[in-house]
Amino acid sequence: MNDVCIGKITIGDFQETFRMQLEYWTVKDYEKQWQEGIERIKTHDQSCLVFQMQDPNRAPWANSWILYKDGDIVHIQNTLLHGKRFSKMLKKESFTIQSCYSFITPRQTVDEEGGMKISEWDIPLVDVLRYKVQTS
């Protein structure tokens, strides 16, 4: 089994190629989380699509697209969880396919340190619900 799988997600006009770490989650785990994440955005204002998860006992970090629903628009931000803050959160709750949503923070449009605008994509909800992912 490879340690990494290449994926490509398409949501509306947005396309992103990414690398998935396979040391902790399998491709099937990621796919299950994505399906649940998309279902969740139908009924919740926040969801996520995790695309990299490393063994939290070795070096805890997770990379995901956070989905913030605002009416018929979904704001998507790339968020990396790592370091002491993530380690502290992991002491309270494991980061799993079911619990990853507990790690979502409220949407911010500027960073706390320098007041820089946080990059995000605005995608119609209908396009998010028709997402496609390819893995190889």
Tell me: the pLDDT tens digits for 65-103? 999 999 999 999 999 999 888 888 899 999 999 999 999
Number of Cβ within 10 Å of residue 126's Cβ equals 10
The pTM score is 0.91
Q: Indicate the pairing of strand 46-53 with strand 61-70.
A: antiparallel
Q: What is the mean pLDDT of residues 28-44?
A: 95
* pLDDT confidence tier of residue 2, bands split at 50, 70 and 90: low
pLDDT recorded at residue 1: 46
Is the pLDDT score of 58 beyond 90? no
Contact 7, 53 (CB under 8 A): no
* Mean pLDDT of the chain, nearest integer: 92
Question: Which of 113, 107, 99 is CA-nearest to residue 77?
Answer: 107
pLDDT recorded at residue 43: 97
Question: Which of 43, 42, 19 is CA-nearest to residue 30?
Answer: 19
Is the pLDDT score of 125 beyond 80? yes
Number of Cβ within 10 Å of residue 7's Cβ equals 20
pLDDT recorded at residue 131: 86
pLDDT recorded at residue 68: 98
Question: Which of 113, 110, 49, 56 is CA-nearest to residue 86?
Answer: 56
Q: Domains of the chain by range and CATH?
A: 4-135 (3.30.2450.20)
